[in-house]
Amino acid sequence: MTADLLENAPDVRPSQQPMAEGAVLLRGFAKSLEADLLAELSDIVAQSPFRHMVTPGGHRMSVAMTNCGSLGWVTDRSGYRYDARDPEAARPWPAMPPSFRELARQAAAQAGFGGFSPDACLVNRYQPGARMSLHQDKDEHDFGAPIVSVSLGLPAVFLFGGLKRADKPQRFRLEHGDIAVWGGPARLRFHGVAPLADGEHALMGRQRINLTFRKAR
């Protein structure tokens, strides 16, 4: 899908739900584009399949991951980092589709962060029981750009905490097509995903896909 098609997509008038200063949920913002997003996603995964990465501490992540864009986020025993190449395929990550980039730009603008131009899209696959522990996104060089996180498939419980790990997180239910955006004073808030409940999504089966857009460099 081109940027023109995106701009001419049906106006679904998504509702906005504030999470904190600088953080908002755009309910249903991506739903009208689901077919195009999933078609592009299929091409990305064919080039760089999902894999369960290992943290520096030796923990195998329950979430399977891949990336698209000029940079991809990776973790292994040597640390967390962005890399221009898929270490398993030994070639650059798949290019970020224009439709992905435009959706991220429009969502960021809707949330009050104009001019967002991501260079990395982390693609996370959650299957029942998979979770993401509370963490900060701080491997990027510049924290001035927001994080844009798109939910597809099964619903999940998003944990949105404070600037300290000990801060009690708020819990938000994310549905298919919802987009969470946080930046500015919320940019370094801790966040995570509770263990995914089992279920069957009409379009995507027993899984949740999360597209997380970042400006890494």
210 is in an annotated binding site: yes
91 is in an annotated binding site: no
Does 82 appear as a known binding residue? Answer: yes
Q: Scan for tokens 């970042």, then name that residue.
A: 214
Q: How far apart are CA 53 and CA 66, in angstroms?
A: 9
Cβ atoms of 32 and 12 within 8 Å: the answer is: yes
Q: Is 2 annotated as a binding residue?
A: no
Residue 214 assigned ligand-binding role: yes
171 marked ligand binding residue:
no
Please check if 182 is assigned to a binding site: no
- Residue 44 is labelled as binding a ligand: no
Whether residue 36 contacts residue 43, with contact meaning beta carbons closer than 8 Å, is answered with: no
Q: Is 56 helix (H, G, I), strand (E, B) or coil?
A: coil
Q: Is residue 217 part of an annotated ligand binding site? A: no
211 annotated ligand binder: yes
66 is in an annotated binding site: no
Q: Which residues contact 32 (CB under 8 A, 6 or more apart)?
A: 9, 10, 12, 177
Determine if residue 13 is labeled as part of a ligand binding site: no
Whether 191 has a binding-site annotation, put simply, is yes
213 marked as binding residue: yes
11 is an annotated ligand-binding site residue: no
Nearest to 170 by CA among 17, 15, 14: 17
Is 8 a known ligand-binding residue? no
Q: 105 among the known binding-site residues?
A: no
Q: Tell me if 173 is assigned to a ligand binding site.
A: no
Closest CA to 18 of 185, 195, 130, 155: 185
Q: Binding residue per annotation — 179? A: no
- Answer whether 49's CB lies under 8 Å from 30's CB: no
Annotated binding site for 2-oxoglutarate: 124-126, 208-214
Annotated binding site for Fe cation: 135, 137, 191
Annotated binding site for substrate: 73, 80-82, 139, 165
Annotated binding site: 73, 80-82, 124-126, 135, 137, 139, 165, 191, 208-214
